[in-house]
Structure 1
Amino acid sequence: MAALAVVAAAGVTGFLVFGGDKDDEAGPAKPSASKSKSKKPSPKPSDDGNARGEGGEDKPTIPGWQVVVNPKWGTAFDVPPDWEVKTPDTLIGFDDRKDEGAKSIIIMSAPAVLKEKWCTSDDDKDGEPDDTSLAAVGTKGQNGAKNTEDVARNDSAWWVYGGYTEQTKADKKKIKIGKIEDYTTKSGVKGSLVTSTTSGAATSAKCDSEGKATTFGFKNESGEYVAWTLYGAKGVKEEVPDATVKKILGTVRWTEAASED
């Protein structure tokens, strides 16, 4: 993957690098619309963990929450009502600072964002304030992956690197990659789970903070590797609690993928 290769050349080591799906790995860091390829539908009978409404519409499995659907990868999950659910063709992620935004470190699609304008600053003094969100969650493809363990480990590390280490020029040793755990969602989707964090990466800049990213690597119904990641600020008053992260993660399920045109 071009963007990750550039970062790796800069000396980021300690976790493997392999490409995700091309449509999830190109584009600006700020949310923007982008057409994406879609997969042929492979519907499966729904159960309590794969709630379907009339007409096949996905419904949240937790009362009062919102459902987030990524038709490209055939996945869905729920988020609390205070999260903003973006459109399925929205991309969000982090640019490579060295290339002035021409390339991206890592990106995911169909996200939900918590407090998109959690902090606003103009650190580069260009007269255009930049907004920093508190947290975000979404999914991305990992074509070329060998197993769910690598997906979870690599993506969690890249998210904290892109959002909380590379941006502040902090040493890569500030990243701590957690242990790989086996995990099964409430709907029965099995995979691997890793949480990576930073420590000592934040500067004194107004919107800087330590970061954490939890990635669940699994296969969708078509047998493709997918990474679900929730990343956000760590060590701040409004940090997303681990219990909430796990509650959202528990709702990850298969849903019907969009058919190709």
Structure 2
Amino acid sequence: MASVAILSLGATLTACAGDGTAEADAPGPSAGGSPSVPEDRDDPRHSPEPSPGGPAPVVADDWQVVTGPTRGVAFDVPPHWRVGAEGGGYAWFDQSQPEGYQDVVHALNDVAGFEADACPGGGRLTGVAGTRWVRGVPDTSEAAFIVADNLVLHGYDQTLSGTLDLPASEPFANDHGVAGHIAHATVTDAPLTAGHLCGTGDAMAIGVAFLNADSDMVGWGFVAETGYGEEPTRETIEQIVGSIRFHTP
């Protein structure tokens, strides 16, 4: 059985990046891991109260705020999503390794994820969003492309056996002053693995890249299995992306 990535919601996932404060430069497409087993045993429908002094949601009063102070970013997610503690993370393991090996090939930090009741995952998630540094690339156009590419391939098609559709990045700006580029990626007919909880073989990813208040390049990413009844609607995804904003603790 292939290794499966571990989602740490409420605790730092040390395999992601040590202390959760930085990641390696974003690599090009390569073998990856898959979603995810939650380590916490909290009710997956529980929506924790925002921390005192934390930012308020901008989408709706009942939405939750994910904060990433290291990268200076916040974004909102729907009420039923699981929101991890600051510094927590989500890692994809190399599935070509024998079981028991946990070589991390990609990661997001400051994450939130959702679970679909219709998919037999036993509490496992079918999608995740979070942030990472993007280094070693010349501009936000290429960075957004890389984020989307890595997420969909590492998460759902490690063997590069499906059909990948990755159009060029487009300029991005929202109402909160975040500007850069956005890229969308999809994979269809990927080989079913332990990460394909809904059994569709299809997935999508979004990569957004921009400069934060310190002029460091930040990548925001969202990746999820698609082709089943409970997947987030396009409107919901647009609301999440539209809520990305700068955050200073």
State the TM-score, normalized to the length of structure 2: 0.74
Residue in structure 2 matched with residue 91 of structure 1 by the alignment: 89
CA-atom RMSD in angstroms? 2.6
Larger Rg: 1
Matched letter for residue 184 of structure 1: A
Aligned pairs for 1:15-164 within 5 A: 29-32=5-8, 33=12, 34=14, 35-37=19-21, 57-62=54-59, 63-100=61-98, 101-115=101-115, 119-120=119-120, 132-164=124-156
Q: 1:219 to 1:236 in 2, by over 3 A?
A: same
Does structure 1 residue 189 correspond to structure 2 residue 187? no
Residue in structure 1 matched with residue 222 of structure 2 by the alignment: 230
Q: Which has the higher helix share?
A: 1
Query: Aligned to 1:186, what secondary structure does the other structure show?
Result: coil
Matched letter for residue 165 of structure 2: K
CA contact (8 A) 2:118 2:230 kept: no
CA contact (8 A) 2:20 2:89 kept: no
Matched letter for residue 192 of structure 1: H
Q: 1:58 to 1:247 in 2, by over 3 A?
A: same
Deviation readout 1:18-62 (Å, 9 max, x if unpaired): xxxxxxxxxx83124132348xxxxxxxxxxxxxx9985311112
Deviation readout 1:59-82 (Å, 9 max, x if unpaired): 111222111001110100111101
State the TM-score, normalized to the length of structure 1: 0.71
Q: What percentage of residue pairs aligned between the two structures are identical?
A: 23
Matched letter for residue 200 of structure 1: D
CA contact (8 A) 1:118 1:133 kept: no
Residue in structure 1 matched with residue 169 of structure 2 by the alignment: 180
CA contact (8 A) 2:20 2:88 kept: no
Structure 1 distance, partners of 2:57, 2:109, is 19
Structure 2 unaligned blocks of 5 or more: 23-49
Structure 2 distance, partners of 1:136, 1:233, is 10
Residue in structure 2 matched with residue 4 of structure 1 by the alignment: none
Structure 2 distance, partners of 1:83, 1:56, is 21
Q: 1:180 to 1:162 in 2, by over 3 A?
A: same
Shift of 1:170: 4.7
Structure 1 distance, partners of 2:51, 2:123, is 38
Query: Aligned to 1:159, what secondary structure does the other structure show?
Result: helix
Structure 1 distance, partners of 2:52, 2:114, is 29
